[in-house]
Amino acid sequence: MIETPEQQQSKSVEPTPRTNEVSKAEQYAALVHSRRSVRKYDADTTFDHDAVQRALELAVLSPNSSNMQLWQFHRVINSDKRQQLAKLCMGQNAAKTARELIVITTTPYKWKQRTKMNAAQVRQAFEGREDATSKRALKYYEKLIPFLYRNDRFGIFGIARKVIVAYLGRNKPMVREVSKADLRVCLHKSTSLAAMTFMTAMRAEGYDTCPMEGFDSKRVKHLLSLNSQDEITMIIGCGPRAQDGIYAERHRVDNAETIITYA
């Protein structure tokens, strides 16, 4: 029997049976444990570039602030370009030996377009049943987002916003991160989550990755002809792991120091 979109949707949100949950949790734990930052890739093993595309198509499903999707993923496959880019990654092995490099950027200047897109999406989703929720969602995209995302070169708007929220927040809870610098952090948070989804997906494909922040951002932007307002969150090298691709045992500080519980 063919299901209506509503039936399909309600099915997709049904809770997973508990027994499956355990095995999925185990599978996921195994995946997370097997991901390492790999600094050397095997030049002789075949590498399926389609796996990168698949992993990126999962990465864009990552949670992101206000669903603005102010990100881009630049795939550098071409060998010459890759070697030029590897040099700008300070000649790191993880870049030099990578079979493909992904430059993840934030695209702040697209905020107006994305605001319109989201507002239109809300209108469409609530068509014929406008209520308090839809009004709130529209107000969010038509009033609050422009208030938060509009910036000038010197960050004056952001300073004004800081003063406003400090005043309004005297007697009630208020989001305080409203400056131009805060917005940059906000965008890099979302791109970082996408980076993590990408790296996990690549591991699931049987490949490895290394996130890098050691690069000359000015020259990389020039090499890829990026928009002057683009900011590079990180560059990820990927490929099939070389036998000596992991430099050391994984180590983390004690969980008790980093996982704080308020029971």
Ligand X SMILES: Cc1cc2nc3c(=O)[nH]c(=O)nc-3n(C[C@H](O)[C@H](O)[C@H](O)COP(=O)(O)O)c2cc1C
Interface residues toward ligand X, by CB under 6 A: 36-37, 39, 92, 94, 210-214, 234, 250
Closest separation in Å from C-beta 93 to ligand X: 8
Place of tokens 């004056």: 156
Residue 214: CB minimum distance to ligand X, A: 3
Q: How many CA atoms, within 13 angstroms, populate the side-chain half-sphere of residue 101?
A: 31
Shortest distance (Å) from residue 36 CB to ligand X? 4
Residue 98: CB atoms within 10 A of its CB come to 29
Choice between 146 and 214, CB closer to ligand X? 214
Nearer to ligand X, 137 or 204 (CB): 204
The residue whose two tokens read 């630049």 is 74
Nearer to ligand X, 148 or 212 (CB): 212
Pick between residue 35 and residue 75 the one whose CB is nearest to ligand X: 35
Q: Do 220 and 88 contact (CB within 8 A), yes or no? A: yes
Cβ 38 to ligand X shortest distance, Å: 8
CB of 163 to ligand X, least distance (A): 32
- Give the nearer residue to ligand X in terms of CB position, either 36 or 54: 36
CB 73 → ligand X: shortest distance, Å?
16
Cβ burial, residue 75 (10 Å; 0-12/13-18/19+): middle
CA angle (198, 203, 205) in 5-degree steps: 95
Question: What is the rounded distance in angstroms from the CA atom of residue 82 to the CA atom of residue 85?
Answer: 5
CA–centroid distance for 91 within its chain: 25
3-state secondary structure 107-147: CHHHHHHHHHHHHHHHHHHCCCCCCHHHHHHHHHHHHHHHH
Cα(59)–Cα(53) distance, integer angstroms:
10
Residue closest to ligand X when measured from CB atoms: 214
Between 37 and 65, whose beta carbon lies closer to ligand X? 37
